[in-house]
Amino acid sequence: MLTSVSLLALLAGSAQAFWRLPCNKPVVNGLIDPIVSPGKANSHSHTIMGANGINLDSTYDELVASDCTTCKVSADKSAYWIPGLYYKYPNGSFQSVDHGGMLVYYLQRGGSNETIKAFPPGLRMLTGDPFARNNTGSIESQAISWNCIDYNQNYPETPGFDQLICPNGLRAQVFFPSCWDGTNLDSADHKSHMAYPDGINNGVCPSSHPVHLISIFYEIYFSVDPFNKLNDGGSFVLSTGDPTGYSLHGDFYNGWNQDILQQAVDQCTNDSGVLEDCGVFTGQNLIISDDTANSCSATDPIGVNVDGVLPYLPNCVAIQDGPQEATPGVLTPGCTPVSGTGNTTPKSSFAAVSSAVASTSVGSPATTKVSVSSTSVIAAPTVSSTSVKPVTPSSSAASVPVASSSPAAPAVSSTSVKPVVPSSSAASVPVASSAPAVSSSVSAVVPTSVLGGKTGVLAATSVAPTATTEASVAASSAVAPSALPTGKSSTCAAKARRGSSKFVSKPKPNVHHYRQNANRARSF
């Protein structure tokens, strides 16, 4: 892994311009992945932020024609997603772990004499490995990390879950490759048309992928606070059936108005990271309100509940510990997987930028790693625009979770960001001041002890759920915890660093607080 010192040295000569795009909440949680599993239920569930036009087989035109988005710029109808996180009780039942949306960093990090370009319309990419169960040490794995947040001490970023209680949140972090081959909007493995620059999150693109696109980085804060006071020795697991955390991955489906994004890339050179400091967005009245973003939602056409307390992981995914790579398609005994295709007709998942340019891709993508073979070229879709039409969300109560609900998560607010005045250091760090309060159903009482456990598993102590055995958990119902902690929370806080591991500011109680730094002293 790159050390903080070596990374700072790289950053010293890099561009400092960036902005943060808050995505206030998921637009949908479900078995949706139009990149990997077009037209059918995906093997595992995702939590998806962005445009409500996302469906089992989304096209670029469908995304940009979305009625609304949960992200804060109306010209961005992209979809951003990662696997869901669950807490596993000792009785075998699972509970979805809520989060307060996502921050997407748009970073202008090119090498010398490189021009940063906007994403081409309809670009799709995946980074991370859903089947990983150990730290492979690959370039890709170095761009994926977790951080346990504790205001009272600093924990290092790790490639997988650690044996820690995280009193102030668990942060998932995904950095995408930014070098494009200039031809293909997708590839058979959804990765090979993209590459990382020589500095992973910074630097010069390889000659095979000469087009340097704007860099994107995801931060997602999971509200693990409700489980920190529990005492039954349960553990966290990703929807991929992964109790190690190494299978964290991210998907991105570009739905930007390309002209607007290129204007932002060219003109938004402020190093504050504040969305409102970009004249392209404010001058064209493109920043939407929190109410508008929060009212946006989509529907999973498969119709499978993936939230609340569940008897199995969604789509019957079996837990595979590793350290060997997980085997695709392994199911939990006694559970019937979803085989539906919803109300969509499968469409091609590949497209090239121009019908005049040869494409190297395979017709039907798969979750396994396959080689690329030639196929016919499909012309890229044209850019279309639409106005935002918020969808009224259904009401929900912040109460003790049962099989159909889970603790509410706070929304991200872009208006709460106040950068620290940067120093001459290459790693100057803007800091967020505050964000909306967290639901009172979530507790952030710091536990006094940390349970041991299996190496690579994020241990959590919990109040025992209603007495039952794993065998008695029926597929049609799940055992809800008999008690969950209640009270106020200071969940999901994060440190802001300037080339060190110390907090720049300490968040106030009961505030959903994000780390807001551009040139992070990251350890990948």
Q: Which three-class secondary structure string do you get for 261-328?
A: HHHHHHHCCCCCECHHHCHHHHHCCCECCHHHHHCCCCCCCCCCCCCCEECCCHHHECCCCCCCCCCC
Map tokens 């169960």 to a residue. Answer: 133
What confidence score (pLDDT) does residue 198 get? Answer: 92
Q: How confident is the model at residue 110 (pLDDT cuts 50, 70, 90)?
A: confident
Residues 455-484 have pLDDT tens digits of: 333 333 333 344 333 333 333 344 444 433
Q: Measure the CA angle with vertex 312, ends 307 and 317; round to 5°.
A: 100
Q: What's the rounded Cα separation, in Å, for the pair 80 and 72?
A: 13
Q: For the segment 84-108, what is each residue's pLDDT rounded down to a tens digit?
A: 999 999 999 999 999 989 999 999 9
pTM for the whole thing? 0.69
Domain containing 295 equals 1-524
The number of distinct structural domains making up the chain is 1
Two tokens, residue 385: 């625009």
Mean model confidence pLDDT for the chain: 72
Alpha helix positions (H), 12-92: 60-64
Predicted pLDDT of residue 380:
36
Torsion of CA 466, 468, 474, 476, to 10 degrees: -10
For the segment 231-290, what is each residue's pLDDT rounded down to a tens digit? 678 899 999 999 999 999 999 999 999 999 999 999 999 999 999 999 999 999 999 999
CA distances from 429 to 4, 241, 253, 422 (A): 14, 36, 29, 6
CA separation (Å) from 222 to 83, 85, 86, 162?
Answer: 12, 8, 10, 15
pLDDT digits (tens, 9 = 90+) for 175-230: 999 999 999 999 999 999 999 999 888 899 999 999 999 999 999 999 998 887 77
Q: What is the pLDDT of residue 340?
A: 61
